[in-house]
A and B are shown apart, each in its own frame.
Chain A
Amino acid sequence: MFRVRFHGRGGQGVKTASRVLGTALFHAGFEVQDAPRYGAERRGAPIFAYVRADRQPIFERGVIVRPDLVVVVDDTLLTLPAAAVLQGIAPHTLLLVHSAQPAEALRAKLKAPGQLVTIAPREVAATGLQPQGAMMTVGAAARLLGVVPRQALESAAGEELAALPAKLRQRSLALTLDGFDGVEAPGGPVRELPAEPAEDYDRPRWIALPFEDARIASPTIYGAGTSMLSKTGLWRVQRPVIDRERCRRCVWVCGTYCPDNAIAADAGGYPVIDYDHCKGCMICLVNCPSHAIAAVVESQAREAAAAGDAP
């Protein structure tokens, strides 16, 4: 059985990409199971999807813990522990990353035990979400599996993208095929892991839950302000940047509109954005009367910050 796990951000087309691969494998004669994993996440939050394909009916269900192929649509997730991109990867696991960074450097940085292939992004969309990246990456994923004919991929993408306007559909389709044509598997196609034998398995470390009284065992958060620990800033693909020249210090405007309460006034009355919690929704930008807020693609803002430039 092939087990493929997709990682990306909400809004990047990960679900569509996983469905394109699922349908392509189905057209190639496989039994298929695919599913996105939703939670309470929002746009920009790390999400994942998975595809299983086999020559016989698939009985396994749920999250893939031992993937054969991991497809990463957004390379900023690689270093995000919450995205759990590297979970369960083994020496046989092939990592496919949509990234401008060289494969060898990435592999060394991640200490990936297996092969790593990159597919370079064409352009970075102003929205920072690069939905076209998902299409190119899924094309590459189909190629790396070594069992999906180009024709099957093409018809699958045609089906799954049928609801898109014609122009966008054509472009997405072309990118999918570019992805297919643009990679080569380094050590041959993706390898399937043999089934775990029932004589020799990791025994679960079950425990008997101890009784605890309701002060502990009720789902209550006693601590105040714990939502501060949830860094919603990691969801951000666009960063709001305030231009002090234009700002008229009416913080009650942007500060009130911000749904995450991430804007506060400094001593001089200027707005300061808490980038740990600003999720990049751009509601402040839309509502700023002086057009003092600009949207900067997050990855570029980070690079600039790393290079020492102020964002």
Chain B
Amino acid sequence: MTRTLLTGNAAAAWGARLAEADYVPAFPITPQTEIIELLAEWMQRGAMAGRIVMLESEHSMLTAAGAAAATGVRVFTATSSQGLLYAMEMLYTVAGWRVPLVLVNVSRGLAAPITLEPDHNDVLAVRDSGFLQFHCATCQEALDGVLLAYRLAEDARVRLPVMVNMDGFYLSFTREPVRLPEPEQVRRFLPPFDPETLYFRAGAPRSQGVAVLGGAQYSYFRYEAHLASLGALRVFEEAAAEFARLFGRSYAPLETFHTADAEFAFVMLGAFATKAKQAVLRLREAGWRIGLVRPRLLRPFPAQALVEALGGLRGIAVIDQNLSTGMGGVLCSEIGAALLRAGARPVVAGYVGGLGGRDIPVEEFFEMARETKAAAEAGRCPPTRLLYTEEELRQTRALQAIAMAE
């Protein structure tokens, strides 16, 4: 097992290579392009078997991915942001076909206004599509996540497509030390795909994704997909246990960091959660009993694990790197609902931050901890706060003056 410096994009590409994906329908978009460039290069020089095909859009790309998966081959694809939204119709459709494939989404904020930098509104916009969602915080997770995703997608108890999400820039273009597993070991973890009933062929016609009117059958199929997704939590835990045995890296659906004796915790998704870890370590040096909770799996939603990790705390700061317009942070409301249904009532302070790649410096974590503690002492959940400073508004004002927006 070599340890080497890889970008998140390269790590994801290595995941697809080690998984021995047969077919890669692709369409380039910043910041995902490096993934398909690498796969194309490897396939061209014979380092990787399989075929990569450039489609004319992400909508076609997802159609090709789902159709190929229905023939029983192992399919990998990747996109980002607007591309994911362009493919949205087909995300629901191929999930409804109940075909397994792995899609890496490199998160990037959605237009308008246009940006290249990350937040999670793209991946959360497709939250309800039927794709399972694995969220990465490191480049290592981008590689391992792809391997785990195939195990999950192809398991007969699940058979749903899986999305592996990583943050643009902060992971996609950032190199970190990554352990590259040996191909032999990966084959043991992820044997060749046994498609069982997936064998769509010209000589064996079948109708896929048929029309059902009246609602009873529709409800049945949709709810069955939901049950498969819920059951995937268990399947993930099994796969992760085997992964840990083979590779020595453990992946619970929920990452917990210094939560055993904690009174407070940060809760967040993705690469910025490692910044929260840094803040946790410093706050602990200053006497705080604080930790971090980070869902790796967002779909299925690890509700029980979250309640166990957070239910007994005095206060939690949920930092959403997304914004549901007219509501607030998506993660905060999902976690709030899970806690409420379990009758657990830590004070929840909701923050929206990191939109469009806006940094969250360590001092802001310190301040969020301080506010959350004050809220817990007062026994009241504060209103959601956008992480935004006076200086940032001043800069925006200067640009508005140039734009003559007044």
Are A and B physically bound partners?
Answer: yes
Judged by a CB distance under 8 angstroms, whether B155 is at the interface is: no
Within 8 A of A (CB), among B361-406: 361-364, 366-367, 385-391, 393, 400, 402-406
A226 touches B403 (CB 8 A): yes
The closest CB in chain B to the CB of A40 belongs to B116
Whether A188 sits at the interface, judged by CB under 8 Å, is no
Alpha-carbon distance A62/B321, docked complex (angstroms): 15
**Given A32-B175, A35-B169, A197-B282, residue A206 in contact with residue B406 (CB < 8 A):** no
Closest chain-B Cβ to A214's Cβ sits at a distance in Å of 10
What residues on A are CB-neighbors of B386 within 8 Å? 208-209
Contact with A61, one of B170, B281, B404 (Cβ below 8 angstroms): B170
Q: Could you tell me the distance between the alpha carbons of A215 and B174 in the complex, rounded to whole angstroms?
A: 38
Interface contact B405-A62, CB-CB below 8 Å: no
Stretch from A95-103, A173-181, A216-224, A268-276 that touches the partner: A216-224
Which residue from B286, B391, B404 sits with its C-beta under 8 Å from A198? B286
- Neighbouring A residues of B271 by C-beta, 8 Å: 61
Among A19-27, A69-77, A299-307, the one that faces the other chain is A19-27
From known contacts A22-B175, A23-B5, infer whether A60 and B282 are also in contact, taking CB-CB under 8 Å.
Answer: no
**A34 touches B (CB below 8 Å):** yes
Whether B282 pairs with A226 at a CB distance below 8 angstroms is no
- Given the known interface contacts A38-B173, A196-B282, A215-B405, the answer about A32 and B359 at a Cβ–Cβ threshold of 8 Å is no
Say whether chain A's binding surface is mostly helix, strand, loop, or mixed.
loop
- Is A211 an interface residue, CB under 8 A from the partner? no
Contacts of A36 in B (CB 8 A): 173
| B361 to A: closest C-beta gap in Å | 7
A63-B176 CB under 8 A given contacts A26-B5, A197-B282: no
Q: For A219, what are the chain B residues with a Cβ–Cβ distance below 8 Å?
A: 112-113
Whether the pair B367, A204 counts as a contact (CB closer than 8 A) is yes
Query: Chain A nearest CB: distance from B13 CB in Å?
Result: 17
Q: Given A26, A62, A205, which contacts B177 in the complex, CB threshold below 8 Å?
A: A26
Cross-chain contact B403 with A221 (CB below 8 angstroms): yes
Minimum CB–CB distance for B185 against chain A, Å: 23
Q: Is A123 an interface residue (CB 8 A)?
A: no
Instruction: Confirm or deny: B274 has a beta carbon within 8 angstroms of a beta carbon on chain A.
Output: yes
Q: Mark A54-74, 1 if CB is under 8 A from B, else 0.
A: 000011111101000000000
Task: Report the separation of the CA atoms of residues A229 and B328 in the bound assembly, to the nearest whole angstrom.
Answer: 36
Contact of A60 with B275 at beta-carbon distance under 8 Å, contacts A32-B177, A34-B174, A34-B175 already known: yes
Interface centre among A205, A207, A208, A223 (most CB of B within 10 A): A207
| A12–B272 CA distance with the chains assembled, in angstroms | 30
Contact check, B363 vs A220: say whether CB atoms are below 8 A apart.
Answer: no
In the complex, the answer to whether A207 meets B390 with C-beta atoms within 8 Å is yes
Q: Verify if A31 is at the interface (C-beta below 8 Å from B).
A: yes
Q: Report B's interface with A, CB cutoff 8 A.
A: 5, 7, 112-113, 116, 169-170, 173-177, 271-272, 274-275, 277-279, 281-283, 285-286, 288, 359, 361-364, 366-367, 385-391, 393, 400, 402-406
Query: Apart from A32-B176, A61-B271, A206-B390, what are 13 other A-B pairs with CB-CB below 8 Å?
Result: A26-B177, A33-B175, A34-B175, A35-B173, A39-B116, A59-B274, A61-B274, A63-B359, A201-B366, A207-B393, A209-B386, A216-B400, A218-B405
